Protein backbone atom coordinates (compact mmCIF):
# COMPACT_ATOMS: atom_id res chain seq x y z
CA UNK A 1 0.00 0.00 0.00
CA UNK A 2 1.48 3.40 -0.93
CA UNK A 3 2.72 5.58 1.92
CA UNK A 4 2.47 9.36 2.01
CA UNK A 5 4.04 12.22 3.93
CA UNK A 6 1.55 15.02 4.46
CA UNK A 7 2.83 18.38 5.65
CA UNK A 8 0.04 20.89 6.26
CA UNK A 9 0.45 24.49 7.31
CA UNK A 10 -2.26 26.38 9.16
CA UNK A 11 -3.77 29.68 8.14
CA UNK A 12 -2.01 32.59 9.83
CA UNK A 13 -4.94 34.92 10.53
CA UNK A 14 -5.73 35.87 14.14
CA UNK A 15 -8.54 33.28 14.40
CA UNK A 16 -6.42 30.39 13.04
CA UNK A 17 -5.44 28.89 16.39
CA UNK A 18 -9.03 29.14 17.64
CA UNK A 19 -10.25 27.20 14.57
CA UNK A 20 -7.55 24.56 15.14
CA UNK A 21 -8.59 24.11 18.76
CA UNK A 22 -12.30 24.06 17.86
CA UNK A 23 -11.72 21.25 15.32
CA UNK A 24 -9.05 19.36 17.26
CA UNK A 25 -11.26 16.72 18.92
CA UNK A 26 -12.95 15.82 15.63
CA UNK A 27 -9.55 15.74 13.89
CA UNK A 28 -8.02 13.47 16.54
CA UNK A 29 -11.04 11.15 16.54
CA UNK A 30 -10.65 10.79 12.78
CA UNK A 31 -6.94 10.08 13.12
CA UNK A 32 -7.69 7.42 15.75
CA UNK A 33 -10.13 5.80 13.30
CA UNK A 34 -7.49 5.87 10.56
CA UNK A 35 -5.03 4.24 12.98
CA UNK A 36 -7.53 1.43 13.67
CA UNK A 37 -7.86 0.96 9.90
CA UNK A 38 -4.07 0.84 9.50
CA UNK A 39 -3.88 4.09 7.50
CA UNK A 40 -2.29 6.43 10.09
CA UNK A 41 1.38 5.61 10.69
CA UNK A 42 2.77 8.58 12.63
CA UNK A 43 2.34 12.29 13.01
CA UNK A 44 1.82 15.34 15.12
CA UNK A 45 1.71 19.11 15.24
CA UNK A 46 4.38 21.39 13.79
CA UNK A 47 5.33 24.04 16.34
CA UNK A 48 6.67 27.54 15.80
CA UNK A 49 9.63 28.95 17.75
CA UNK A 50 7.29 29.79 20.65
CA UNK A 51 5.79 26.29 20.88
CA UNK A 52 2.50 27.32 19.23
CA UNK A 53 0.88 24.82 16.84
CA UNK A 54 1.17 26.03 13.26
CA UNK A 55 0.65 22.92 11.16
CA UNK A 56 0.85 19.14 11.00
CA UNK A 57 3.29 16.52 9.75
CA UNK A 58 1.78 13.08 9.20
CA UNK A 59 2.58 9.73 7.58
CA UNK A 60 -0.30 7.72 6.12
CA UNK A 61 -0.83 4.71 3.95
CA UNK A 62 -3.85 4.51 1.67
CA UNK A 63 -4.81 2.26 -1.22
CA UNK A 64 -3.91 5.10 -3.59
CA UNK A 65 -3.56 8.88 -3.85
CA UNK A 66 -7.26 9.23 -4.69
CA UNK A 67 -8.21 7.57 -1.38
CA UNK A 68 -5.96 9.98 0.50
CA UNK A 69 -7.47 12.97 -1.29
CA UNK A 70 -11.01 11.67 -0.63
CA UNK A 71 -10.18 11.49 3.08
CA UNK A 72 -8.76 15.04 2.98
CA UNK A 73 -12.09 16.32 1.63
CA UNK A 74 -13.76 15.28 4.92
CA UNK A 75 -10.87 15.99 7.32
CA UNK A 76 -12.03 18.51 9.97
CA UNK A 77 -8.83 20.55 9.65
CA UNK A 78 -9.67 21.01 5.95
CA UNK A 79 -13.40 21.60 6.27
CA UNK A 80 -12.83 23.82 9.34
CA UNK A 81 -10.30 26.05 7.54
CA UNK A 82 -7.38 25.09 9.78
CA UNK A 83 -4.97 23.85 7.10
CA UNK A 84 -4.28 26.44 4.42
CA UNK A 85 -1.54 24.67 2.46
CA UNK A 86 -1.06 20.91 2.19
CA UNK A 87 1.93 19.22 0.58
CA UNK A 88 1.60 15.50 -0.19
CA UNK A 89 4.51 13.30 -1.26
CA UNK A 90 4.63 9.56 -1.74
CA UNK A 91 7.34 8.10 0.50
CA UNK A 92 8.74 4.73 1.51
CA UNK A 93 9.16 4.67 5.27
CA UNK A 94 11.92 2.66 6.90
CA UNK A 95 10.70 -0.48 8.65
CA UNK A 96 13.17 -1.30 11.46
CA UNK A 97 11.68 -4.79 11.88
CA UNK A 98 12.50 -5.79 8.29
Rg (CA), the chain: 14
pLDDT tens digits along 9-36: 999 999 998 999 999 999 999 999 999 9
For residues 22 and 28, what is the distance between their CA atoms, to the nearest angstrom? 12
The full set of domain ranges for the chain reads 3-91
CB atoms closer than 10 angstroms to residue 34: 19
CATH code, 3-91: 3.30.70.1060
Low-confidence ranges of the chain (pLDDT < 70): none
pLDDT of residue 48: 95
pLDDT of residue 82: 97
- Report DSSP state, residue 28: H
For residues 83 and 19, what is the distance between their CA atoms, to the nearest angstrom? 10
CB atoms closer than 10 angstroms to residue 8: 22
Strands 3-10 and 40-47, sheet pairing = unpaired
Amino acid sequence: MPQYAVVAYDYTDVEALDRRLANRDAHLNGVRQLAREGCFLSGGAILDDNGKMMGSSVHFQFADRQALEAWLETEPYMTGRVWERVDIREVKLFDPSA
